[in-house]
Amino acid sequence: MSGEQSTVDEQISETVNEVLDSVSDEYDVDEDAVEELVTQFIDEYGVPQDSARRSVMRSLAKERDIDVPELTGSSSGGGSSGPTAISDLDSSDENPWYTVKATAVNLGQPDDSEHVRQYGYLDDGEDRIRFVMWASGTDEDMLLEEGETYELESVVVNYSDYNEEDEVNINKSSNVSEADSYIEPSDTTTEFTGAIVDTAGESGLVKRDVDSGEVVDSSHTGPTEKDLRLILWVDNGYDAVRVTFNKELTEQITGISFEEAEEIAADALDLEAVIGEMLPELLGRYVTVRGEMLGDYLLTDEFDWPEANVDVEELLVKARALDEEGGDN
C-alpha cells in the first residue's frame, strides 16, 4: 500500500528529474524525450520508478555509445570522475562501479582470513557503508587509516549475503588515494531510553584473557586480568536493546569502584558477588543511554537518569477521547 503514496504523475516528474540530475553536464539531454520515455515506462507499462530510471539512463548512454558511469560522470575511466554519494551506491545497478570520496571509520583486520586484508566503514558525512579490502591483487602495503579521507576509484558495490546489505569492495582494479580535503564522518550516535530489565551477558567483575582481551569464565586456563563491565537489557516496551558499559561507566552507574568490586569478590570468594551487589541498584530503573550501535550492541558513551513527568490531565484527555474516534459506538 505504501507504494501507492505518490501519484503516477508525481512518479514520472520525480524520475525525470532524477535522470536529468544524474546526467553529467557535458552531455545535452532532450528533456521532452526523457519525459516521453519515462511516461511510457511508468504510465503505460507500470515499470517501478527505479527500473524506469535505470532503463532510461541505459538508453541515453546507448544513444551516445558510452556506458552509464561515463554518462553520469562517475566512470573512473572518463575525464570527469566525480564521486558518488554513499546513499546512491546500489549493488543492483547495471554497472555497480563507482568512485567514492569518504572517511574510513571503525576499521578492523581479520586475523583468520588470507583473503580479506581490511574491513570497516566508509562515511561521506551523510551515510556510511561497509567496505572490504581484498588482499589478492591489491598493494600489500595498502591499509586505510582510521579517520582519514580517501578518494576510492573503481570500487564495486556488491550485496553481501553474510551481512545482508550492500558493501563496497576494494579490489585489484581499484585505485585508492588520499583525498585533498577532509570529510567529517556523520553522527551515528543512537539514544535509547528504557528500563533495565536484565543482564545480557557476563557483567560485573569479569576476567579477560590477557592476550585476546576476551571475557572468559572460571574454567579458562592461562593468564587473565580483571575488568569491570556491564551488558544490560534496556527495554522500552517495544524493543529490548543490549547496552554495554565499560569500566569507567560501570563505576559511574553503579557507584562501585573497581577496587571496591575486587574487595566484594575477595570477601565472598566469588566474582559473581559483584554483579549480585550491583543488580538491585540497576534493575527496574529507567536510563537514557547514548552511544554507537555496533552490531546488536549499543556501546554507551554517556548515560543519565530520566525524571518522571506525569501529566495526568493530559493522559485523561487522551484516554477519554479514545472511543470518539472508534465510530462503532
Partner 1 sequence: MSSNEQNDGRNPARRAFAAEVLEANHVFKQGDGEQSPKFALLPTGELANRVFMVGTVTESEETDGGRIRVNLVDPSGEAYVYAGQYEPAAETTLRQVDPPCYLATVVKPDTFETDEGDVYVSLTAQNAAVVDEDTYLQWFDETAEHTINRLANLQDVESFEDPDYDVYSHYGPDIDEELQEMLVDALETYRESN
Question: What are φ and ψ of residue 144, in 5° steps?
Answer: -75, 150
Does residue 316 touch partner 1 according to CB under 8 A? yes
Q: What is the spatial distance between Cα 30 and Cα 19, in angstroms, rounded to a whole number?
A: 11
Q: Of the ranges 41-49, 136-144, 183-191, 307-315, which one interacts with partner 1 (CB under 8 A)?
A: 307-315
Q: Which residues contact 290 (CB under 8 A, 6 or more apart)?
A: 189, 190, 191, 300, 301, 302, 303
The cell numbers describing 66, all together, are 558510452
Q: Of the ranges 83-91, 139-147, 158-166, 198-206, which one interacts with partner 1 (CB under 8 A)?
A: 198-206
Does residue 217 touch partner 1 according to CB under 8 A? no
Phi-psi region of 202 (alpha: psi -120 to 50; beta: other; left: phi over 0): beta
Contact characters 220-259, partner 1, x per CB under 8 A: -------------x-xxxxxx-------------------
Residue nearer to partner 1 on the CB measure, 125 or 201: 201
Residue nearer to partner 1 on the CB measure, 20 or 319: 319
Does residue 322 touch partner 1 according to CB under 8 A? yes
Residue nearer to partner 1 on the CB measure, 304 or 323: 323
CB of 59 to partner 1, least distance (A): 43
Residue nearer to partner 1 on the CB measure, 49 or 203: 203
CB of 201 to partner 1, least distance (A): 6
Helix (H) or strand (E) holding 98: strand 97-108
Decide if 8 contacts 38 (C-beta within 8 A): no
Q: What is the per-residue DSSP string for 260-314?
A: HHHHHHHHHT-THHHHHHHHHHHTT-EEEEEEEEETTEEEEEEEE-------HHH
Q: What is the spatial distance between Cα 316 and Cα 323, in angstroms, rounded to a whole number?
A: 13
Does residue 297 touch partner 1 according to CB under 8 A? no
Does residue 320 touch partner 1 according to CB under 8 A? yes
CB of 7 to partner 1, least distance (A): 25
Maximum distance among all alpha carbons in the chain?
Answer: 83
| Contacts to partner 1 by CB under 8 A | 195, 197-201, 203, 233, 235-240, 275, 279-286, 306-313, 315-316, 318-320, 322-323, 325-327, 329
